Structure 1
């Protein structure tokens, strides 16, 4: 509860008038002091009344590409039974404040406000909670309360359509890639039986040992497996300010474009960061929404990628500052037969002889997509 400057002044005047009235026996001053005290007390009672409000938020959509429109619908309902609510309310949406009119909101009634969510920057935009301020008629006391939970809106990197998709070293005899969903060649792991699995895939020896049906899970080695390694080091993106850099944003767009193109072709794709993020199991586009620049070394990242061997095609996306260390990436060609490097934010071409790698230089994500489709060999 906050007493305004007017309320503080009136409270001080009430005390002074009461003291002066009783000390010097002036009943008029005493009456004025008492009236001022009653006004402050009444203001405290009015502001202390807590309206019963129910808040509901719906984002449409809650995940959107950077620059695309997103709207938030806020519904506020007066759940009280006795009196109408006339309040001053505001909704915090990212870095701005949205006024919410709550005038004569009768019991059992609701009001709806719709507004645009800013999507100019990649990241999570927190929306809410609703901040309701209760004031007395004289403006002596103001009490702010919060209603509802915070609703996040995920602003993902912009995706640029890619026509060409690397097929790696493996080829299917029936076409460019094999479409067998569970694979049929190499044993990968065991898992519990679920309704619909073929009984010929049950591993009876393990099932007898653990006491429940276990099924063999195979992978098709003819399917190309793409690994996207995003360079999120400060050193790779010079000119960064407040933890952001245009070249890094372009790198996030390039990574999102490659991931979406691979998923569109039903190809296995793995997204890795040079400096690992906190949620490696989340959806790749959600990880690209929250990833930020951090400290790290490329040598440690390439050693980790070489040990994992998560695929046969490696796509390394870096900034202008990462050109000097492309030798670490070139050393991965023994583990990954196909290696492609994308240098984002590049205003000049990469010097020839960059560890014998296929290098795509681009100013931004759109230019990367255009250059990517022009690559003739992987």
Structure 2
């Protein structure tokens, strides 16, 4: 228990009033000082008793889109034989705070409390620990008690319904170049890698196993499966509002592609490089990555990283800003253009349009506008 600033000032004023009253012979000052001292003593008596309750926190759901609905439920139980006074429960959600006023509880009683969590900021937010506060009516003293651990709330970027690109250049594998006329269901070797428990034993590569001394396995890929790559500009030159719109657009496009059974890749100039197969696990991984991606502090980064310049196949979508795309960036995009079936640059509506031969440019005011224009790409 501790005195608040108001309580400390009241205590000092009480001592001064009593001292002046006794020294000058003023009973009124002594009485006022005594009243103030009594108020401080009462505050210590009320706020000094910490809540003796059991609290269970339930967070549902723990993964939502930005501005989605996530609620926290507190189940407050009084295990004692005496009535518990009311108090205030405060949960921290990142930089925000959620306050719940808990009413007095009878002995053995339990009361649930429901409150919505702030989800306006994208990110991985830590919820908790829960802090219980008890204060007197005058706000002179307060006690604090921390309970329980923490939970995690994932606030994903918003995703909008959008179609996936169906075309793209054929991929290249160890057995040669695949063609667009390859029959569906055919497989090409993507790589020969060490065996991992759970791999198909019938895919063991015995020659490589004999040569390396460890079990090696053929990793197959479907040559007819489309490939979709998103290059998200996370350089510090792009403004915060533009970056949030870019993340929202990247999430919408890559989720649609992964759900359409495309092999996807997410790359940023700042070092993010995530490549997965399609399916729900891929969607979750990309959303988690886009949940925490932030602008890099490193200066002078090129838009197209070296790893992406050496890759190829399928469709490449570059999401940036017209202001931050330099002539060198445009030259790099022109350089990687032959490696992809299509290269699309999406930039904001401010600044001059960065024209690049062979690269389609979409200018959009925000993510929703960009998705509206995306229909011309997949038409």
Secondary structure class of the residue paired with 2:119: coil
Deviation at 1:169?
0.8
Residues 53, 147 of structure 1: 8 Å contact kept: no
Q: Distance in 1 between matches of 2:112 and 2:124?
A: 24
Q: 1:277 to 1:143 in 2, by over 3 A?
A: farther
Deviation at 1:253?
1.8
Q: Which moved further from structure 2: 99-108 or 122-131?
A: 122-131
Q: Distance in 2 between matches of 1:278 and 1:50?
A: 50
Residues 11, 37 of structure 1: 8 Å contact kept: no
Superposition CA RMSD, Å: 4.1
2:71 corresponding residue in structure 1: 72
Q: 1:346 to 1:133 in 2, by over 3 A?
A: same
TM-score, scaled relative to structure 1: 0.76
2:343 corresponding residue in structure 1: 339
Q: 1:279 to 1:102 in 2, by over 3 A?
A: farther
Q: 1:100 to 1:203 in 2, by over 3 A?
A: same
Among 191, 194, 212, the alignment partner of 1:190 is 194
Secondary structure class of the residue paired with 2:249: helix
Residues 123, 155 of structure 2: 8 Å contact kept: yes
Q: 1:361 to 1:261 in 2, by over 3 A?
A: same
Deviation at 1:79?
5.2
1:268 corresponding residue in structure 2: 263
2:231 corresponding residue in structure 1: 229
Deviation at 1:141?
2.0
Q: Which moved further from structure 2: 77-86 or 286-295?
A: 77-86
1:302 corresponding residue in structure 2: 305
Deviation at 1:148?
3.5
Q: How big is each residue's C-alpha offset from its partner over 1:213-254, in whole Å with a ceiling of 9 and x where there is no partner?
A: 65432233443322211011232x3xx3xxx22x22221122
Q: Distance in 2 between matches of 1:97 and 1:186?
A: 50
Secondary structure class of the residue paired with 1:270: strand
Q: How big is each residue's C-alpha offset from its partner over 1:138-188, in whole Å with a ceiling of 9 and x where there is no partner?
A: 75421233333443432222222222415321155366xx456xx443434
Q: 1:304 to 1:298 in 2, by over 3 A?
A: farther
Q: 1:139 to 1:155 in 2, by over 3 A?
A: closer
Deviation at 1:269?
0.5
Among 284, 287, 295, the alignment partner of 1:285 is 287
2:14 corresponding residue in structure 1: 13
TM-score, scaled relative to structure 2: 0.76
Q: 1:101 to 1:330 in 2, by over 3 A?
A: same
Q: 1:376 to 1:310 in 2, by over 3 A?
A: closer
Q: 1:145 to 1:210 in 2, by over 3 A?
A: farther
Deviation at 1:57?
3.3
Aligned length: 359
Q: How big is each residue's C-alpha offset from its partner over 1:239-279, in whole Å with a ceiling of 9 and x where there is no partner?
A: x3xxx22x222211221122112111111101111112599
Q: How big is each residue's C-alpha offset from its partner over 1:107-127, in whole Å with a ceiling of 9 and x where there is no partner?
A: 443322223333344334554
Query: Does 2:358 correspond to 1:367?
Result: no
Residues 134, 142 of structure 2: 8 Å contact kept: yes
Residues 162, 253 of structure 2: 8 Å contact kept: yes
2:63 corresponding residue in structure 1: 63
Secondary structure class of the residue paired with 1:189: strand
Q: Which moved further from structure 2: 161-170 or 118-127?
A: 118-127
Deviation at 1:361?
2.0
Deviation at 1:31?
11
Residues 52, 78 of structure 1: 8 Å contact kept: no
Structure 1's unaligned 5+ residue stretches are: none
Deviation at 1:129?
3.7
